[in-house]
Amino acid sequence: MSLIGTIGEVSVADVVRLFAAGHKTGLLTVSGPGRQAMLRFFRGSIVHAATGRLQGDDAVLDLFGWKEGQLTFVPEERTVAPNVTRGVEELVAEGLRVGDVLHRRNVLVPSERVVFQTAGGPADDAPPYAMGGPAWRVLLAVDGVRDVREVTEASHLPREEVVRLLFEMAEAGFLERIEPVRSLRVQPQGLFRKDVAEIDEKLEAEWKRMRRFAGGVRRVEVRSAAGKTVAVEAAFHAGVQRDILLPRATVTELGVREGEDVHVRPVG
């Protein structure tokens, strides 16, 4: 393994072009805070790329927006299924043109589970944002509860267009990302408890800082690791900490066991 340097000392574009000119074969790894990108070269061409959920051309272009990271290279020949479709020069030109924006968008919307709410609005001196019909449909679908997948379904627009519009409106000051989902540990309630989910009052205080739930939370959605969901009335008490006390019927419906983690979000 050879250390090439860090982003800032060397540019991704220069390294990629150098490997292309030298007909390099091997694995280029870029390691940054909380992320890692891997580009596999074969005789100077990038044949495979991955970083987190991004694969292929998208992973290469995203890398051009990184502000920090350490680059290392391992010369090796290894057969992999290609997932990069464009040549080095085309990728470099596109990466230099849009890589920074694509990376910021990928950081803002890393998964389908991201939730947005309306923000305080753009600054008085901000440039005008042209809000056409698709942007308005996305804005109407954003309610502080729906995630990206649900906003896509509600707006009847392609996912890529929804992600682009969410990013643009967030950068313009109309929207902001929030984190309503919490991972809590299941505890079945006693046989004679009320048919509500019991949650720590500190979590309600966090949720009440969100615009949608400023008046309090009455219902939550509980999602198991297998993807089953149940909506249930909520009650908040001191000292519950990171447990969620669920009615036994809800535990059975979710198919979870005592001590298992579930994802919980407010829905009403």
Q: At what angle do helices 148-155 and 159-172 cross, to 10 degrees?
A: 110
pLDDT tens for the chain, 268 residues long, are: 587 889 989 999 999 999 999 999 999 999 998 899 999 999 999 999 999 999 999 999 999 999 999 999 999 988 889 999 999 999 999 999 999 999 999 999 999 999 999 998 888 888 889 889 999 999 999 999 999 999 999 999 999 999 999 999 999 999 999 999 999 999 998 765 678 999 999 999 999 999 999 999 999 999 999 999 999 999 999 999 999 999 999 999 999 999 999 999 999 9
The model's pTM is 0.83
pLDDT for the residue numbered 79 = 84
User: Can you tell me whether residue 31 is helix, strand or coil?
Assistant: strand
Distance of alpha carbon 213 from alpha carbon 208, whole angstroms: 5
Q: Report, at the CATH architecture level, how domain 182-266 is classified.
A: Beta Barrel (2.40)
Q: Which fold has domain 115-178?
A: Arc Repressor Mutant, subunit A (1.10.10)
C-alpha R_g of the chain: 23
Tokens representing 142? 């954003």
CA-nearest of 22, 118, 126, 10 to 69 is 10
pLDDT for the residue numbered 86 = 96
CA-nearest of 20, 41, 25 to 89 is 20
pLDDT for the residue numbered 3 = 72
Distance of alpha carbon 264 from alpha carbon 268, whole angstroms: 12
Q: Where in the chain are the domains?
A: 2-98, 115-178, 182-266
DSSP conformation letters of 42-102:
ETTEEEEEEETTEETHHHHHHHTT-S--EEEEEE----------S-HHHHHHHHHHHHHHH
pLDDT for the residue numbered 190 = 72
Residue type, 102: L
pLDDT for the residue numbered 159 = 96
pLDDT for the residue numbered 253 = 94
Cβ partners under 8 Å of residue 215, min gap 6: 208
The pLDDT tens digits of the residues spanning 33-55 come to 889 999 999 999 999 999 999 99
pLDDT for the residue numbered 1 = 58
